[in-house]
Structure 1
Amino acid sequence: MIIRSKAPLRVSFGGGGTDVAPFCENQGGVIIGSTINKYAYCSILPRNDEEIIVHSLDFDMTVKYNTKENFVYDGKLDLVKAALKAMDIKEGCEVYLHCDAPPGSGLGTSSTVTVALLSAMAKWKRIDLDTYRMADLAFGVERIDLGISGGYQDQYATTFGGFNFMEFHGRNNVVVNPLRIHKEIIHELEYNLIMCYTGGVHVSANIIDDQVKNYENQDSFMAMCEVKALAYAMKDELLKGNLNAFGKLLDYSWNSKKRMSNKISNPAIDALYNRAKQDGAIGGKLLGAGGGGFLLIYCPFNARHKVAAGLEDMGGQILDWNFELRGVQSWIVDTDRWDYQSIDIRLPEGEFRFDV
């Protein structure tokens, strides 16, 4: 058999950075966002020996382990090693991993890969993990076991899927509120949003560490409070379908977030954003911690074509995408069905045979 899983990448609209300690532990952090139809995939093929072979298709890398070895975190597929330890994998297997977006895209790729990997392992071992336990397990693998800097949103967003308003007060105190948004509002929001790849790759850990360092700075702290308040306002306007107001709040939030760290934006990103606004966009933001990756732009439908053309003229790459309302999914493939066989079809004109 083959065990497969796929987990959706996420876009955050507001609250980014407030889900990072110490702000979320002291003040309470919030995130409003959704998942999209770009995924991280995992396939597991059980083996009859003690060898674990991991293929990272994105990095064109293959690494081999033994189930009895003590895994050492050396920078080579450490997420996989930590997941193997967390799930106590004692049987040989072959693992294939790949993702629809590159690392550093701002779409939460590493967390999404982690959730896809853990979900497939849980399916293989017949361990029933609910969404909260799955997200917390992935958080523990990344943030605790590996010490990777970051917040809470990525693991919870990809596990739950869809539109959510998430509240964070530290580990074991997370509440995910699914948003019941009318499908016509979702369709219109989707049509009015543009995702543009800036061509840059951000190093989120460096930006987050700088943000944490600035927590004691009064202006940075107030900027975090503003980002949090704007996330609540975005939720209200989105639920009511006031999308132009939602787009304007994106603009306010982006300007506030840039005050949290001078590493969040750069002249190239600012130039792309300013061009979009000149061409008719109402607002937008950089996805992820900052520094590069995807720029999310909201514009009225009659300015959409002009905004997209302007971004492409400046070297941006427009992504074709849609919202995804489901979270991580896993399933088992019965490979016995793959065997070749002959199919006989009897018709009045005669008897026919096909090998399939």
Structure 2
Amino acid sequence: MMITTRTPLRASFVGGGTDLPNYYREYGGAVVSTALRLYVDVSVRRRSALMGPRYRLDCGTHEEVDNIGAIEHPIVREALRMLDVDVPLEIVSYSDVPSGTGLGSSSSFTVGLLHALEIMLGRQPAPAQLAAAAFQLEAVILDQPIGRQDQTIAALGGLQHIRFLRDDRVEARPAPTPTPTSIALERGGLLFYLGGQRRAGPLLRSLQTPSDAQRQGLRAIAGTCEAFGAALDQGAKLAKLGEILDQTWQLKRELSPGVASPLVDQAYAAAQAAGAYGGKLLGAGGTGCLLVLADPKRHPGIRAALARFAELPFQFSAHGSRVLHAATPQREHPSVSTPP
């Protein structure tokens, strides 16, 4: 049996940081995010007992081991333990972007892996169940200082307004954008990979127990999320959405040291000088992907200003994690017996 899932990466417009448990359990949080047509594919295949080590992994690194406890990849190891999987497996992943780009690839991998394993076990998990299980694995079992938006958007897909309630419930609904507004938002977006791989842990760890100043900053970011959502509801022009995005970025870059590097500031200033309405760095900060909003007529100039950086396609994906391939062999491998 082989199962392959495809799970989208994400771009967060506003609200990042308010999805951290220590914040939303006190104040409530919200984000507006979209799934992207950039994906992580995960394939899980049952191995024959005749083919050597029980577990063979190609998920960024190559591993061949005989027991789950020996698996070095923490997400794979704990996913197998969480779902009580005890069969020989080969697990392979592919991604459209490198890790550490700020597009939520770690959570997309987690969601996609859990999805594939659940299907292999004969279960059909709901998107909300996948998101909750992925967050439990990453944030609780592995003690990663991450929020809840990445797993949610990876499982659900689409352009979503997601609220994180004080009692740990998550409420997500498609952002009710008039069609011209959602089209303008998608067509007006440009995404550039600035290079390098940032470490989100140290940046997010400082928000685990936020200072009074950080709490104030997060509350202001929550306010920009409400403003962005209202602007979408009202069919606002792209310039207004870009203005709110810029306000969000200015607030985010003050949250903790290291969020905005000189390289990020230079790239953002160059985009604005070329006509961008606004933008932000995706993910925790440091480096990664820069998202800007601008009139499409300004795109050639912005591309020229940021020509040294790789551009990634900025297109919305309506789909969350889904099964691309599920094949069951026509017959089992024949058993091997010793002649009499």
Asked if Structure 1 and Structure 2 have the same fold, meaning a TM-score greater than 0.5 normalized by the shorter chain, the answer is yes
Which one-letter code corresponds to 2:208 in the other structure? V
Do residues 45 (structure 1) and 20 (structure 2) align?
A: no
Q: What is the CA distance between 1:72 and its match in structure 2?
A: 5.4
Q: Is the 8 A contact 1:106 1:288 kept in 2?
A: yes
Q: Deviations over 1:97-132 (max 9, x none)?
A: 121111110000100001010001111111121111
The residue correspondences of 1:53-132 to structure 2 (distance < 5 A) are: 53-56=56-59, 59=60, 61-66=61-66, 69=67, 71=69, 76-132=72-128
Tell me which residue corresponds to 1:351: none
Q: Is the 8 A contact 1:31 1:166 kept in 2?
A: yes
Q: Deviations over 1:197-229 (max 9, x none)?
A: 11132100110012334x1233x2221111001
* Equivalent position to 1:255, from 225, 250, 253: 250
Return the alpha-carbon distance in structure 1 between the equivalents of residues 317 and 48 of structure 2. Answer: 37
Q: Is the 8 A contact 1:32 1:163 kept in 2?
A: yes
Return the alpha-carbon distance in structure 2 between the equivalents of residues 332 and 196 of structure 1. Answer: 31
Tell me which residue corresponds to 2:16: 16
Q: Bigger shift: 182-191 or 106-115?
A: 182-191
Aligned-partner SS, 2:243: helix
* Equivalent position to 1:272, from 256, 259, 267: 267
Q: Bigger shift: 147-156 or 237-246?
A: 237-246
Return the alpha-carbon distance in structure 2 between the equivalents of residues 167 and 333 of structure 1. Answer: 33
Q: What is the CA distance between 1:184 and its match in structure 2?
A: 3.3
Return the alpha-carbon distance in structure 2 between the equivalents of residues 277 and 17 of structure 1. Answer: 24
Tell me which residue corresponds to 1:322: 315
Q: What is the CA distance between 1:83 and its match in structure 2?
A: 0.7
Return the alpha-carbon distance in structure 1 between the equivalents of residues 165 and 327 of structure 2. Answer: 43
Larger radius of gyration: 1
The residue correspondences of 1:1-356 to structure 2 (distance < 5 A) are: 1-49=1-49, 51-56=54-59, 59=60, 61-66=61-66, 69=67, 71=69, 76-169=72-165, 172-213=168-209, 215-218=210-213, 220-242=214-236, 243-312=238-307, 315-334=308-327
Q: Deviations over 1:47-86 (max 9, x none)?
A: 2328121112xx3x221233xx35257xx31110011111
Return the alpha-carbon distance in structure 2 between the equivalents of residues 266 and 77 of structure 1. Answer: 30
Q: Deviations over 1:117-164 (max 9, x none)?
A: 000111111112111111010011111111111111110110010011
What's the Cα RMSD here?
A: 1.8
Return the alpha-carbon distance in structure 1 between the equivalents of residues 215 and 126 of structure 2. Answer: 35
Which one-letter code corresponds to 2:318 in the other structure? L
Return the alpha-carbon distance in structure 2 between the equivalents of residues 319 and 90 of structure 1. Answer: 39
Q: Bigger shift: 45-54 or 142-151?
A: 45-54
Aligned-partner SS, 1:186: helix
Return the alpha-carbon distance in structure 2 between the equivalents of residues 86 and 230 of structure 1. Answer: 37
Q: What is the CA distance between 1:182 and its match in structure 2?
A: 3.5
CA, structure 1 residues 43+113, in 2 after alignment: closer, same or farther (shift >3 Å)? same
Which one-letter code corresponds to 2:55 in the other structure? I
Tell me which residue corresponds to 1:342: none
CA, structure 1 residues 157+129, in 2 after alignment: closer, same or farther (shift >3 Å)? same
Q: What is the CA distance between 1:246 and its match in structure 2?
A: 0.8
Percentage identity across paired residues of the two chains: 27
Aligned-partner SS, 1:175: strand
Q: Is the 8 A contact 1:123 1:331 kept in 2?
A: no
Q: What is the CA distance between 1:336 and its match in structure 2?
A: 6.5
Q: Is the 8 A contact 2:3 2:327 kept in 1?
A: no
Q: What is the CA distance between 1:335 and its match in structure 2?
A: 7.2
Which one-letter code corresponds to 1:92 in the other structure? P
Tell me which residue corresponds to 1:346: none
Q: Is the 8 A contact 2:68 2:77 kept in 1?
A: no
- Number of aligned residue pairs: 326
Return the alpha-carbon distance in structure 1 between the equivalents of residues 158 and 184 of structure 2. Answer: 16
